[in-house]
Amino acid sequence: NPLEDAKRAAAYRAVDENLKFDEHKIVGIGSGSTVVYVAERIGQYLQDSEYSDLVSKFVCIPTGFQSRNLILDNKLQLGSIEQYPRIDIAFDGADEVDEHLQLIKGGGACLFQEKLVSTSAKTFIIVADSRKKSPKHLGKNWRQGVPIEIVPSAYVRVKNDLLEQLHADKVDIRQGGSAKAGPVVTDNSNFIIDADFGEIKDPRKLHTDIKLLVGVVETGLFIDNASKAYFGNSDGTVELVT
């Protein structure tokens, strides 16, 4: 599957080039389908006698329920962000990445713990297939809007503020669809709102404006956070953007 090959190529290269087994001990593991290959790659090192004792000392910090299972499935040590508030390196996917490495994340509704981990890490690396690389501004490719985690009781107020104060084009509560009647409920028992602002020329300002709205827990705009992004192509080549 060419798309999976692209994701795997990006993830493997990112781990091989950035994970320093003698230096890194606390490793953040993101959510989504690409970061699966990051955990898989680290797990492979665990099987390799040359690295196994070093890797067995790693403690992996999850970014949600799926991420927690990914760590366990790859027989890696699971730790909590409470025990390890300072993380050496974190890997995660993204929905869209602009030319300054600003991100839209939250397609998987895990953005709060993802941002808690990514901003607690000394180094934060993005792994993605090349579809996620935006030609210019955020909001160009990812037309599902900016994911925003909100306190459930505030959803009408936040929706109104996004439309009236921040002039969002479209604002929707993320529904469970065929998986669940009613809204998606996050690992933190909150709702997700997707707000479409079209092309986002100043993601830092938009993040701040949204964050200040009463009822907003966190936004899916990750500003000045990622230091590198690996974009995988289906032919197995990988583009590194720093």
Give the whole-angstrom CA distance, residue 223 versus residue 201: 13
Which part of the chain contacts ligand DER (CB under 6 A), choosing from 14-22, 48-56, 90-98, 165-173? Answer: 90-98
Structure-derived torsion over alpha carbons of residues 71, 194, 123, 12, reported in degrees to the nearest 10 = 50
- Are the C-beta atoms of 147 and 139 separated by less than 8 Å? no
Residue 114 annotated among the catalytic residues of the structure: yes
According to the binding rule CB under 6 A, does residue 32 interact with ligand DER? yes
| Interaction between residue 62 and ligand DER (CB under 6 A) | no
Per-residue binding string, ligand DER, 111-150, x by CB under 6 A, is x--x------------------------------------
Residue 57 or 65 with smaller CB distance to ligand DER: 65
Looking up tokens 């065929």 gives 178
Query: Cα dist. 124→19, 63, 114, 119 in Å?
Result: 11, 13, 11, 8
Nearest residue (CB) to ligand DER, 92 versus 161: 92
Using alpha carbons, select from 170, 149, 169 the residue that is nearest to residue 213. Answer: 149
Site residues (CB under 6 A) for ligand DER?
A: 30-34, 92-95, 105-108, 110-111, 114
Q: Would you name the residues annotated as active-site residues?
A: 114
